[in-house]
Amino acid sequence: MFNTVAVVGATGAVGRIILQLLQERKFPAKNFRFFASARSAGQKVEFNGSSITVEELTHDCFKGIDLLIASTPDETAAEFLPSAVKAGCKVIDESGFFRMMPDVALVVPEINPEAALNAKGIIASPNCSTTQMVLALKPLHDAAKVRRVIVSTYQATSGAGLQGTADLIDGSRAHLDGKDFQYQVFKYPIAFNAIPQIGSFKDDGYTSEELKMVYETRKILGDESIQICATCIRIPVSNCHSETINVETERPVSVEEARRLFAATPGITVIDDPANSQYPMPSTCDGSDDVFIGRIRKDMSNPNAITFWCVSDNLRKGAATNAVQIAELLAKNLK
């Protein structure tokens, strides 16, 4: 059991779910501390029947903390988390800043738990769109070796934080009322629209979000040969990312075999009954920790490829749940 566990970003969208999960899953720690920016410090949060004051995040706040779970913007992680490591904390980081550094483990516990157990200092949790896709790819890769992936994402506004969802709700209301609305997060109206840009554009025409899916997937699966083409789109859904994934493998994988492989994988739930119009949707997957797969079918243009639909709660398995699962893995293997 850890003596003291802390959460940075405790008042944010993901941080709130981390606190909820730590309580629901009865995480083994004697003490808990919560941190946030100066703007949010001083707030009270209810945790395990007590009211705990959120402390201000500083470089000197990490003394005595064994495990730190951080959900912050990249720049905050870059500034403060090295101080946590210097103070002797084991750090689980939700930001994108450290993920692709060679000496940082990038972990989905169902896929590469050994990377977390062997890690020194910071353990990174992947991007939300990567996490659900790589969990779906893992059983196919083990069985038939994935060669190429074409993925299109349909990402919820909650992926842009609390203000992203506020933009959707308030912008939709304004649109229906025929009023102007000043969006705070999105460059274009998200209400009744789809925006084919998440992140910044790079020189090759791909966005930072799309490149995360390429490089993070290869690192987690430990295979730099996998070819990936991603297109990431923001849609007017409040929560749960959806993805259309086309996978080419070294040998043909039948629909029946793929369904068996998915169903046998911890963390995946198959909902695939086209005759009765049963398939995953954001509205039915919201609030769950699993990755849901349906619409499994052969690619008619390629005998070695299958296509499927994948939905997951981006705030949970895509962020908070994955981080807490890493923490549970570390707790279980404490020496």
Residues labelled catalytic: 128, 241
Angle at 123 between CA 334 and CA 203, to 5 degrees: 170
Amino acid letter, 330: L
Crossing angle of helices 208-221 and 128-144, in 10° steps, is 40
Residue pair 271/293 in contact (Cβ under 8 Å)? The answer is yes
What secondary structure does DSSP assign to 50-81, as a single string? EEEEPEEP-TT--TT-SEEEE---HHHHHHHH
| CA terminus-to-terminus distance, the chain | 10
What is the radius of gyration, based on Cα positions, of the chain?
20
Task: Name residues whose C-beta falls within 8 Å of residue 82's C-beta, 6 or more positions apart in sequence.
Answer: none
Q: What is d(CA 129, CA 134) in angstroms, rounded to the nearest whole number?
A: 9
Q: What is d(CA 240, CA 75) in angstroms, rounded to the nearest whole number?
A: 25
Neighbours of 286 (CB within 10 A): 17
Task: Name residues whose C-beta falls within 8 Å of residue 306's C-beta, 6 or more positions apart in sequence.
Answer: 140, 246, 247, 249, 253, 255, 258, 296, 297, 298, 299
